[in-house]
């Protein structure tokens, strides 16, 4: 039948063949396009995953990883879970914990990973190693893309600096507010008062910039508190820094303990090495070693003897002085001194 159609209607047959061929090509191209698109999506997903893993890895490196657990006594804090309980010595591998080991939450964040947020950090250094209660804090905000906007003696700056990789999150707006956040922020940034010349450490500083922006934003309790410096500090800054202070104190105590332990280990190793280096290897060295040891002991005894004699002489002198003072006092009082 198909051959009859081709013979009777050759033009129509060719047209049908062209349509069929075109459809086949389109189907092949569509399939190829889908495969290509799938590969591209997989590649993008892999890149995104790697970036995410890299960010998590960087953040993990900043987090010292304080572990807390409780076995038979008080809670124990450490950087690494020990094999045995430091209180009773029981093997923790098969122990029944009163409180299962958990990682103490790390209170600090990377500012660029928190869009449309208000963040603070120490003016110099970081929280874990450098910050103390008497030090100044520096406050800034982030855009919807994570760009940090801050005002300091250099003027108004926008960047993604690593200096904000260990800061505290004061607050963050919800997703529907992000566009309004950016718009308001750029309006405030355009004001000519935010320049290096107008900056004043006491009266016109980073705090002034952030509070001005938050009041203009008109975002719930955050903007309401921003109308008063003291209120904003009490509601948003003090609670965060207080909680962070506990973590900082715990971290530094653990770090000091680890440093002391390392120093003791190093000293023991050095002493052991020195002792081994002095070990006699033959009879002659043994004789010299014994003679040296005896001489050292003799010197120590002589030194102790000299110190004892010196102390006795000092005590005798003090007794003589005391007797003289007593005699003088008795003479002044008109009392005759007893015969010796």
pLDDT at 205: 96
pLDDT at 18: 62
Q: What DSSP string runs through 193-233? A: T-STTT-BTTTBSHHHHHHHHHHHHT-HHHHHHTTSHHHHI
Query: Does 80 have pLDDT greater than 80?
Result: yes
Strand order, beta sheet including 148-152:
155-159, 148-152, 137-142, 117-122, 168-172
State the CB neighbour count (10 A cutoff) for residue 116.
Answer: 24
Dihedral sign computed on CA atoms, order 75, 79, 80, 84:
negative
pLDDT at 126: 92
Instruction: Tell me which residue has tokens 């309980």.
Output: 85
**Which pTM value belongs to this model?**
0.61
CA 151 to chain centre: 24
DSSP 8-state secondary structure symbol assigned to residue 339: P
Dihedral sign computed on CA atoms, order 248, 251, 257, 258:
negative
* Residue 39: exposure state from Cβ atoms within 10 A (0-12, 13-18, ≥19): exposed
Backbone phi, then psi, for 105, in 5-degree steps? -55, 130
pLDDT at 267: 55
What separation in angstroms does the CA of 110 have from each of 113, 168, 233, 282?
A: 6, 9, 21, 64
pLDDT at 122: 95
State the CB neighbour count (10 A cutoff) for residue 277.
Answer: 7
Which of these ranges, 61-65, 126-130, 267-271, has the smallest mean pLDDT? 267-271
Range of 22-31, 210-219, 316-325 with top mean pLDDT: 210-219
Query: Does 281 have pLDDT greater than 70?
Result: no
What separation in angstroms does the CA of 35 have from each of 21, 22, 32, 39, 40?
A: 21, 20, 5, 6, 9
Taking the C-alpha atoms of residue 234 and residue 220, their distance in angstroms, rounded to an integer, is 16
Q: What is the mean pLDDT of residues 182-188?
A: 97
pLDDT at 116: 97
The pLDDT tens digits of the residues spanning 294-317 come to 777 777 767 776 776 777 777 667
Residue 27's pLDDT band (cuts 50, 70, 90): low
Which of these ranges, 5-14, 77-86, 114-123, 271-280, has the smallest mean pLDDT? 271-280
What separation in angstroms does the CA of 145 have from each of 39, 59, 155, 190?
A: 27, 19, 21, 19
Residue 95's pLDDT band (cuts 50, 70, 90): confident
**pLDDT-above-70 percentage for the chain:** 65
Query: Does 110 have pLDDT greater than 80?
Result: yes
């Amino acid at each position: 039948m198909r051959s009859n159609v081709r013979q009777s209607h050759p033009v129509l047959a060719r047209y049908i063949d062209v349509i069929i061929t075109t459809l086949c090509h389109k189907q092949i191209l569509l399939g190829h396009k889908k495969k290509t698109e799938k590969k591209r999506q997989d590649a993008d997903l892999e890149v995104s995953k790697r970036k995410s893993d890299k960010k998590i890895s960087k953040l993990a490196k900043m987090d010292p990883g304080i572990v807390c657990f409780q076995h038979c006594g008080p809670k124990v804090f450490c950087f690494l879970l020990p094999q045995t309980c430091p209180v009773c010595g029981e093997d923790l591998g098969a122990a029944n914990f009163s409180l299962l080991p958990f990682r103490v939450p790390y209170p600090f964040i990377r500012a660029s990973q928190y869009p449309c947020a208000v963040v603070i950090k120490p003016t110099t250094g970081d929280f874990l190693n450098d910050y103390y209660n008497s030090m100044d804090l520096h406050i800034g905000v982030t855009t919807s893309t994570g760009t940090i906007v801050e005002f300091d003696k250099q003027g108004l700056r926008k960047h993604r600096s690593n200096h904000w990789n260990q800061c505290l999150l004061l607050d963050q707006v919800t997703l529907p507010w992000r566009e309004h956040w950016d718009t308001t922020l750029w309006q405030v940034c355009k004001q000519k008062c935010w320049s290096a010349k107008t900056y004043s450490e006491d009266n016109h500083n980073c705090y002034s910039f952030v509070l001005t922006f938050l009041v203009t934003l008109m975002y719930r309790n955050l903007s309401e508190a921003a109308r008063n410096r003291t209120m904003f500090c009490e509601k948003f800054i003090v609670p965060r820094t207080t909680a962070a202070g506990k973590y900082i104190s715990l971290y530094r105590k653990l770090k000091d303990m680890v440093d002391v332990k390392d120093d003791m280990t190093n000293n023991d190793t050095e002493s052991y090495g020195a002792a081994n280096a002095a070990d006699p290897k033959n009879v002659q060295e043994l004789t010299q070693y014994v003679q040296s040891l005896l001489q050292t002991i003799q010197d120590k005894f002589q030194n102790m003897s000299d110190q004892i004699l010196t102390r006795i002489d000092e005590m005798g002198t003090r007794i003589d002085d005391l007797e003289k003072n007593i005699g003088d006092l008795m003479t002044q009082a008109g009392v005759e001194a007893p015969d010796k």
